[in-house]
Structure 1
Amino acid sequence: MSAQAADQPETTAADTRRWRMLALLGVAQFMLILDVTVVVIALPDIGADLGLQRETLTWVVSAYTLMFGGLMLLGGRAADLFGSRRVVLLGLLVFTVASLVTGLAADAEMLIGGRVAQGVGAAMLSPAALSVVTRSFHGEERNKALGIWSALGGSGFAIGVLLGGVLTAGPGWQWVFYINVPIGLVVLVALARMLPAELPQGARARLDVPGAILVTAATGMAIYGLINAGDRGWLSAVTLATLAGAVVLYVLFAVVQRTVRSPLMDLRILTRRSVAGGTFLILVATALMLAVFFLGSFYLQHYKGYGALRTGLLFLPVALATVIGTQIAGHVVGRLGGRTVAMAGLAIAALGTAVPAFWDGSAVVVTGISVAAVGIGATFVAASTTALGQIAHHEAGLASGLLSTFHEFGAALGVAVVSSIAAASIAGGSGTGFTRGFAFAAIVAAASAVLALLIPAVKPPAGVQLHAH
């Protein structure tokens, strides 16, 4: 009896330590996701302060999401080979220092360079931190821990636009990046003391650096072509050549993945309709969300002349609508399946984005993108259900990594495309470009709703966590 009593405090202390560690890792993940959307509201002020053109402002978002998505699988593999503790701490340090550099930026080169470095740090930190969580918790505790992890990441996406408005209107846009520094340092010191020392798991293999470089370069070239299409023309020789070069690099990436001993990703998993369908849905949902955030921010600030704070507050119903969409979808997806939820979600997104394409006015725009956000939030849940619902347990890490990668690529592509479509309006002209941008988003959402018919009707098995960000 006495031995059991003595053992009880040790168990309680260990449990408390694990949940504290989860809280710290969750804060770190929250910062990474927050940094995708927190800059969107600040973009007009950044452009005015540093004298930046539309193309450069687009890269402020795309450079971060491109590096985050392009190197995430490499970061996950590095955690397996060198130990999650080392990669978590190094990734957090890189992200924190890069945030300081970005805030101090006095020109485009320093700003974009800082965002690239932030993306590299995020790509190291995020998968390594998730690896720590999955190895630290088991059974029902793991499901609870992953639920908290997903909720923190998902809320970061929505809260980012509001926080961006508050910081930009208050101390200035630089604090959109500076705020990461004290938080990052505190979390870094705490995690250095709390994360368990560990040896790398499993057999040692080589990092597929060529694969990571190829997929990141391919996506970067595609985004470059899409951003510049607004000025050079969609059918210009330069645009077509750049996009063709991206296709060539993607083909080379596929060849490398089939020939190297330790590929970055097993592309054969994408031949399954469920996984391919899930990654397609996450790509479209994230592209639509960042597109409407980007268009809405410039419409309200550039075209309507609102300040950053007012714009951020106007995005509050959009953030709440996203959460409502994910919650509703989470409750009904078990009965209806991912395909039905995806079709309904994308149809709602199409209706919402069509509203500001036909009618003008601040209230109309906010109402339209709020309706769209309900559908987009539901589509995020459908994407996770579809991709993870029919895979074996040992493949869950790979499938989750693919979802996260396509999530970031979608953000980069969505901003790049609508930036070019709305180029004239963003530069400071009429509202025609915004109308075209919203119309394009509506067409993409409607077409994707039809394509969702091809996705298998997958329902989530018990215990699968639905990622809503």
Structure 2
Amino acid sequence: MSQSLAKSATADTPPSGTSPGGRSLQGHPWLTLLTVAVGVMMVALDGTIVAIANPVIQADLNAAPSEIQWVTSGYLLALAVFLITAGKIGDRFGHKSTFLVGAVGFAATSAAIGFAGNIQTVIACRVLQGLFGALLQPAALGLLRGAFPAEKLNMAIGIWGGVIGASTAAGPIVGGLLVEHVSWESVFFINIPVGLLALGLGLWILKDVRAENAARSFDIPGIVLLSVAMFALVFGIIKAPEWGWGDTRTVLFLGGAVVLMVLFALWQGKAREPLIPLGLFRSVPLSAGVLLMVLMAFSFFGAIFFVTFYLQNVHGMTPVQAGVHLLPMTGMMIIGSPVAGIAIGKLGPRVPIVAGMLITTVAMFGMSTLDSGSGNGVMALWFVLMGLGISPVMVGATEVIVGNAPMELSGVAGGLQQSAMQVGGSLGTAVLGALMAAKVTDVLPGNWAGAGLPPVEPSQAEGLNQAAQLGIAPPAPAGTPQQVVDAMAGAVHDSFVSGMSLAFAVASVVAFAAAVLGMLTRRGTTEAGPAVHI
């Protein structure tokens, strides 16, 4: 790769737009950060706010359980499949245009969901929403890469991560308030003013970022191979808990994904303008950053999935109360991300990443010691450590991936970062969910008998087992003594906590492996990226 990359990037030219006072506004780094933060806030908020609305959507639209599952799964699947291609679109056509299209499309599909009258339309629009969300995220990172000098990029990504943390934290609280006091449709309508704000700021503030020597054509065979491979991988992971990991369908989807990934890699070595130049992975830090993001997402998102069930079903909290109890974790992410950006700027990413994953390991192990009677103070301690540990990893791994890529591949690098997170989170949720389900199935009969309860009828055993995997105590017939009701709830909750403890214990081992991998990371070598020869 030529060392003239920095000169070829149009982001390095002075911005043309100025204010009446003569100060530049178009391309202004901090205003660019504000603009992209508004855009990605929609995507981050949507990730948690919709989960609160799903039960009401199911009841209002008479949706089957399998259909309501696809309100979430369809969105995540589209997001994961399209992220890298979306990054390439930004590299080719400019990250500003890509960001604006993503913001408008995300807001428009949100409006369509709010006006939908059936569950099929909701699912279809959620898939489109995922596609537009995929355009937003890599473009945001590409715009930040072009607007900030290398020495300030870490701080910018840290603040950007803090916005994502704040939006994620606000999701359950805002969603609970809107569903309870307005309607489930309002959960989607809230994206309309946010999208319009992102559009207005983007037209005014953003300066286009692209490289003059970016690829001028699209690797259509590569896009098809990668998209189908990602679909097979994520779909197989999503369905594995339902089908079984040894089921023929699961093996076909996951095995097919591996075969398609190999074919994709072989094609990338032959293509004239490949979608993902294989030379990109000659950068050991970048490759380590991608794998680190997978392991981090596996442990964090996979394990944290169970916390909302623990708070709501075991401790009896409302969705809003559960969101408030998660504030120690998300609050530390909001505070810790900018601080981590400053620390990474001074120390480099390696020390903060390794320290962060070690703290996360301790927090995961601490979460594995919780029981059904654990108090708020103990939970808050582990939540604080979780947020404190994850912050430098989210910021550092993002900087390692994006900062070690050439400027003309910054969108692809952003797509890699987000894809790694989606795949890791999906894999963690599925694998840890399967381990938890097996543990609950194993210990529930003993806990039930130990509570002095009569044996469960075979016809009811499966329903009780599935409810216990979510921490839901079975309804007791009218007139059942309170002591028996409490014993039933105790047996179910203890079984759920046993499964959750196993999931967090495994997550702590994965987190420690990520800490070891973090030793291979380092910051980008130049402002335009490392000398990666393609």
TM-score by length of 2: 0.72
- Asked if the contact 2:85–2:223 (Cα under 8 Å) also holds between the matched residues in 1, the reply is yes
2:503 is matched with 440
**1:104 offset after TM fit, Å?**
3.7
**1:354 offset after TM fit, Å?**
1.2
More displaced, 396-405 or 279-288? 396-405
Report the Cα distance in structure 1 between the residues aligned to 2:301 and 2:64, rounded to whole angstroms: 19
What letter corresponds to residue 425 of structure 2 in structure 1? A
Unaligned segments of structure 1, at least 5 residues: 1-6, 465-469
1:374 is matched with 388
**1:36 offset after TM fit, Å?**
2.2
Report the Cα distance in structure 2 between the residues aligned to 1:422 and 1:107, rounded to whole angstroms: 33
Q: Match for 2:35 among 24, 32, 54? A: 24
Report the Cα distance in structure 1 between the residues aligned to 2:526 and 2:24, rounded to whole angstroms: 24
Deviation string, structure 1 residues 382-405 (Cα, Å, up to 9, x no partner): 434654676677766654442233
Report the Cα distance in structure 2 between the residues aligned to 1:354 and 1:301, rounded to whole angstroms: 18
Deviation string, structure 1 residues 164-199 (Cα, Å, up to 9, x no partner): 333333323332221001221343245346556899
**1:239 offset after TM fit, Å?**
2.4
- Asked if the contact 2:157–2:341 (Cα under 8 Å) also holds between the matched residues in 1, the reply is no
Query: Relative to 1, partners in 2 of residues 1:74 and 1:157: Cα closer, same or farther, differing over 3 Å?
Result: same
- Asked if the contact 2:244–2:250 (Cα under 8 Å) also holds between the matched residues in 1, the reply is yes
What letter corresponds to residue 76 of structure 1 in structure 2? G
1:98-137 mapped onto 2 (5 Å cutoff)? 98-136=109-147
Deviation string, structure 1 residues 106-164 (Cα, Å, up to 9, x no partner): 54432332221111112223333444454455577777655544443343333334333
Higher alpha-carbon Rg: 2
Q: Match for 1:352 among 366, 378, 382? A: 366
Report the Cα distance in structure 1 between the residues aligned to 2:123 and 2:23, rounded to whole angstroms: 44
Q: Structure 1 residue 223 and structure 2 residue 234: aligned?
A: yes
More displaced, 240-249 or 123-132? 123-132
Query: Relative to 1, partners in 2 of residues 1:141 and 1:367: Cα closer, same or farther, differing over 3 Å?
Result: closer
3-state DSSP class of the match of 1:121?
Answer: helix
What letter corresponds to residue 275 of structure 1 in structure 2? L
- Asked if the contact 1:339–1:457 (Cα under 8 Å) also holds between the matched residues in 2, the reply is no
Q: Match for 1:212 among 216, 219, 223? A: 223
Query: Relative to 1, partners in 2 of residues 1:112 and 1:235: Cα closer, same or farther, differing over 3 Å?
Result: same
3-state DSSP class of the match of 1:71?
Answer: helix
What letter corresponds to residue 426 of structure 1 in structure 2? L
Q: Structure 1 residue 94 and structure 2 residue 138: aligned?
A: no
2:460 is matched with none
Q: Match for 1:64 among 70, 75, 100? A: 75
What letter corresponds to residue 296 of structure 2 in structure 1? A
Query: Relative to 1, partners in 2 of residues 1:327 and 1:77: Cα closer, same or farther, differing over 3 Å?
Result: closer
- Asked if the contact 1:211–1:256 (Cα under 8 Å) also holds between the matched residues in 2, the reply is yes
2:322 is matched with 311
Query: Relative to 1, partners in 2 of residues 1:66 and 1:251: Cα closer, same or farther, differing over 3 Å?
Result: same
- Asked if the contact 1:426–1:433 (Cα under 8 Å) also holds between the matched residues in 2, the reply is yes
- Asked if the contact 1:338–1:459 (Cα under 8 Å) also holds between the matched residues in 2, the reply is no
Query: Relative to 1, partners in 2 of residues 1:315 and 1:107: Cα closer, same or farther, differing over 3 Å?
Result: farther
Report the Cα distance in structure 2 between the residues aligned to 1:413 and 1:305, rounded to whole angstroms: 28
1:4 is matched with none
1:216-255 mapped onto 2 (5 Å cutoff)? 216-255=227-266
Q: Structure 1 residue 180 and structure 2 residue 180: aligned?
A: no
Report the Cα distance in structure 1 between the residues aligned to 2:100 and 2:147, rounded to whole angstroms: 17
Query: Relative to 1, partners in 2 of residues 1:385 and 1:151: Cα closer, same or farther, differing over 3 Å?
Result: same
Query: Relative to 1, partners in 2 of residues 1:181 and 1:413: Cα closer, same or farther, differing over 3 Å?
Result: farther
Query: Relative to 1, partners in 2 of residues 1:242 and 1:55: Cα closer, same or farther, differing over 3 Å?
Result: farther
What letter corresponds to residue 244 of structure 2 in structure 1? G
Q: Match for 1:152 among 160, 163, 178? A: 163
Query: Relative to 1, partners in 2 of residues 1:436 and 1:8: Cα closer, same or farther, differing over 3 Å?
Result: closer
- Asked if the contact 2:104–2:195 (Cα under 8 Å) also holds between the matched residues in 1, the reply is yes
3-state DSSP class of the match of 1:206?
Answer: coil
2:355 is matched with 341
Report the Cα distance in structure 2 between the residues aligned to 1:461 and 1:133, rounded to whole angstroms: 15
Report the Cα distance in structure 2 between the residues aligned to 1:394 and 1:80, rounded to whole angstroms: 6
1:426 is matched with 470
**1:24 offset after TM fit, Å?**
3.0
What letter corresponds to residue 121 of structure 2 in structure 1? M
- Asked if the contact 1:348–1:375 (Cα under 8 Å) also holds between the matched residues in 2, the reply is no
What letter corresponds to residue 239 of structure 1 in structure 2? T
2:444 is matched with none
Report the Cα distance in structure 1 between the residues aligned to 2:211 and 2:151, rounded to whole angstroms: 25
1:15 is matched with 25
3-state DSSP class of the match of 2:368?
Answer: helix
Report the Cα distance in structure 2 between the residues aligned to 1:198 and 1:285, rounded to whole angstroms: 29
**1:295 offset after TM fit, Å?**
1.6
Give the CA RMSD over aligned residues: 3.9
What letter corresponds to residue 380 of structure 1 in structure 2? M
TM-score by length of 1: 0.80
3-state DSSP class of the match of 2:317?
Answer: coil
More displaced, 239-248 or 449-458? 449-458
Unaligned segments of structure 2, at least 5 residues: 1-16, 438-465, 474-491, 528-534
**1:97 offset after TM fit, Å?**
1.3
Report the Cα distance in structure 2 between the residues aligned to 1:194 and 1:438, rounded to whole angstroms: 48
Query: Relative to 1, partners in 2 of residues 1:14 and 1:49: Cα closer, same or farther, differing over 3 Å?
Result: same
- The aligned length equals 457
Report the Cα distance in structure 2 between the residues aligned to 1:8 and 1:185, rounded to whole angstroms: 23
More displaced, 387-396 or 225-234? 387-396
- Asked if the contact 2:232–2:254 (Cα under 8 Å) also holds between the matched residues in 1, the reply is yes
Q: Structure 1 residue 413 and structure 2 residue 423: aligned?
A: no
What letter corresponds to residue 516 of structure 2 in structure 1? L
- Asked if the contact 2:236–2:253 (Cα under 8 Å) also holds between the matched residues in 1, the reply is yes
Report the Cα distance in structure 2 between the residues aligned to 1:410 and 1:393, rounded to whole angstroms: 26
Report the Cα distance in structure 2 between the residues aligned to 1:419 and 1:102, rounded to whole angstroms: 29
Report the Cα distance in structure 2 between the residues aligned to 1:263 and 1:374, rounded to whole angstroms: 39
Deviation string, structure 1 residues 48-73 (Cα, Å, up to 9, x no partner): 54455665555444433333343223
Query: Relative to 1, partners in 2 of residues 1:45 and 1:321: Cα closer, same or farther, differing over 3 Å?
Result: farther
More displaced, 402-411 or 387-396? 387-396
3-state DSSP class of the match of 2:245?
Answer: coil
3-state DSSP class of the match of 1:12?
Answer: coil
Report the Cα distance in structure 2 between the residues aligned to 1:138 and 1:276, rounded to whole angstroms: 23
- Asked if the contact 2:144–2:156 (Cα under 8 Å) also holds between the matched residues in 1, the reply is yes
Query: Relative to 1, partners in 2 of residues 1:53 and 1:213: Cα closer, same or farther, differing over 3 Å?
Result: farther
**1:42 offset after TM fit, Å?**
3.6
Query: Relative to 1, partners in 2 of residues 1:51 and 1:247: Cα closer, same or farther, differing over 3 Å?
Result: farther
Report the Cα distance in structure 2 between the residues aligned to 1:462 and 1:206, rounded to whole angstroms: 28
